[in-house]
Structure 1
Amino acid sequence: MTQFDLSLFNQYLSERKEEPRTKINQELQVSNKSYQLSAADFSELAEERNQLFKEHHLLDFSWENSQALAGFLVTEPLFYKSDYLEHLSVCQAIFYYLRAYHPGQITDQEIIDEIQRRYQTYQGDLEMLQGSFEDFPDMEADE
């Protein structure tokens, strides 16, 4: 296993159609946000994401889940880039926490939908959002 061939993975990465940061920035622009993610912002998000992989023993070969979270946050009334980045970071951490908690039992889209539902229920209050998933990681909380 130490001789794992990364050629297919590297080929996949080189064939990506669109950079995740570009896609998120396009969504921000379409939603008339006054900010864009810089390379440094995106690098910090990527580093946080890699740390979450290590903590939860996960792999994710695409940015689709993070982009989906970023996409629903684009529609929220977050006026400052720092707020947007904080909310995206928290939602990303919740997503990978739940992915590790429910390995193969539910789909990524179900997790994203539940994060979005609770986010709207708690009107973007990050402490309440995080607490709800810590208290009810089985995603059965009806509030």
Structure 2
Amino acid sequence: MYIFSVVTGLLKKAENISAVERELKFVEALEGTCERMLQYKVHKEKSDISRFAKEESTTMKALNELRNKGVKVELGMPYEMWDTPSVEVVTLKQNCETLLEHYENDLEQWYYNQDRPLLEEYLCKKRVLKRMERDCMKTSNSLEL
């Protein structure tokens, strides 16, 4: 359910502008949000939202350093594929697309509301997540978007 932290952070960036610009920014934010998920890498050594980060994981940094020093490193795939998005990241993107598709009207209502509550509260806690799924929202970590 980390997708909510990612999506809400990206949509918050397009908040403070005029009506026409606001509508355009809303559409642009929706269009680009899920595609940006592909920039993330999985840090398997972490367990919460910080599992997804734009920088390379410690493991991949070490493997790349070894490779740069001339050590032959075998991961069962060609070097060119080391930087392609992982299955987890592609799944994150697909979940983002599903979320935006199902809740586009709710997102639009929130976006144009003058007295906007936090998006996490409005969308995630009140509309999407069941009570038992809300633990993922308690994390104090956030993604660098």
TM-score by length of 2: 0.26
Radius of gyration: which is bigger? 2
